Chains A and B, each alone.
Chain A
Amino acid sequence: MATGDDAARGTAVLAIGSSDDVVRVRQEVRSRAVAAGLGIVDQTKIVTAASELARNTLIHGGGGTVRVESVSQGVRRGVRLTFEDHGPGIPDINQALKDGFTTGGGLGLGLGGSKRLSNEFEIDSAPGRGTRVTIARWK
């Protein structure tokens, strides 16, 4: 991989409107994670978390976007992802984070699981306004 292209790699915003988009999000996150120097386990964790959150954006949020950022803090490098939709929102975030809670016939693992798979996790949601979830994984 080329060096010194942090600025060029900067930020990308991807649409999430179909299950093919979920695959594209996984691919973009994988290549960012590789570029940030994350090991194979950390790569797998952030790509899996991204897949869960992209699917939530698609299915529960009615579609939206993800902002993919290559980030650095001193010598540390990482990947930050911000999923955003203008869907129905989540009335009770603590409940939604509990393993096994689902309103859609899923396993109810995606939200809590993606929190466990990330170094940083932030969620902001309100009924009628939509949902924004930000995660990061650092080397």
Chain B
Amino acid sequence: MDRIPILKLGDALLVTIQVDMHDRLAAALEEDLTERIAATGAKGVLIDISSLGIVDSFIGRMLDTVAAVSRMLGADTVVVGMRPAVAITLVELGLELKGVRTALNVERGMALIGRWLEDGDGDERDGPAAGDANDGDGG
């Protein structure tokens, strides 16, 4: 079965999604990533979606879940590389990925994670939950 490769980059894990996501792959990624966070003690997770031509509610929910689970294991998630057309479509779909921090590209995402790591060694890092989420409710 296909797997999405997970690379270690300093204190962070980098996941580059290169194929059209189907459901089993999404489920496998959730599992693999959480195992790797636990095994490496990574503090940040970068998910590069620049190759994804669309993000639908299924993939969006997967990104949300990964971010939530990673946070519980002590790692903050940044989704990078979302294409402009995908962003426009997501907002119209009504899916604003409120639980997920985003950055334009891998460099900026890494910089963000680096800043979180500097801001607090230990348990008081200023992660995405601390004021970056959008307000409002999707329902």
Q: Which residues of A contact B (CB under 8 A)?
A: 19-20, 22-23, 26-27, 30, 40-41, 43-45, 47-48, 51-52, 55, 99-100, 106-110, 112-114, 116-117
Q: Shortest beta-carbon distance, A125 to chain B, in Å?
A: 20
Complex CA distance for A22 and B22, rounded to whole angstroms: 8
A/B interface sample: 22 pairs, CB < 8 A: A19-B22, A19-B23, A19-B24, A23-B22, A26-B53, A30-B53, A41-B89, A44-B54, A44-B85, A48-B54, A48-B56, A55-B58, A100-B138, A106-B61, A107-B60, A107-B95, A109-B57, A112-B94, A113-B57, A117-B89, A117-B92, A117-B93
Contact for B53 among A47, A55, A107, A112, CB less than 8 A? A47
Contact for B20 among A26, A52, A99, A114, CB less than 8 A? A26
Q: Shortest beta-carbon distance, B53 to chain A, in Å?
A: 7
Complex CA distance for A86 and B88, rounded to whole angstroms: 33
* Residue interface mask B121-136, A partner, CB < 8 A = 1: 0000000000000000
B112 at the interface (CB under 8 A from A): no
Q: Which residues of B contact A (CB under 8 A)?
A: 20, 22-24, 53-58, 60-61, 83-86, 88-89, 92-95, 138-139
- Residues of B contacting A26 in the complex (Cβ-Cβ under 8 angstroms): 20, 53-54
> Which residue of B is nearest A113, CB measured?
B93
Asked if A99 and B138 sit within 8 Å, CB to CB, the answer is: yes
- Residues of A contacting B53 in the complex (Cβ-Cβ under 8 angstroms): 26, 30, 44, 47
Complex CA distance for A110 and B56, rounded to whole angstroms: 8
- Residues of A contacting B94 in the complex (Cβ-Cβ under 8 angstroms): 99, 109, 112-113, 116
Starting from the known contacts A48-B89, A52-B57, 5 additional A-B residue pairs (CB-CB under 8 Å) come to A22-B22, A43-B85, A47-B54, A109-B57, A113-B57
- Residues of A contacting B22 in the complex (Cβ-Cβ under 8 angstroms): 19-20, 22-23
A113-B58 contact, Cβ under 8 Å, with A27-B20, A47-B53, A100-B138? no
> Which residue of A is nearest B23, CB measured?
A19
Asked if A41 and B56 sit within 8 Å, CB to CB, the answer is: no
Asked if B93 and A51 sit within 8 Å, CB to CB, the answer is: no
Complex CA distance for A19 and B62, rounded to whole angstroms: 15
Complex CA distance for A106 and B94, rounded to whole angstroms: 13
Asked if A44 and B86 sit within 8 Å, CB to CB, the answer is: yes
Most chain A CB neighbours (cut-off 10 Å) among B23, B86, B89, B138: B89
10 interchain residue pairs of minimum CB distance: A100-B139, A113-B93, A44-B85, A19-B23, A51-B56, A41-B85, A48-B54, A44-B89, A40-B85, A109-B94
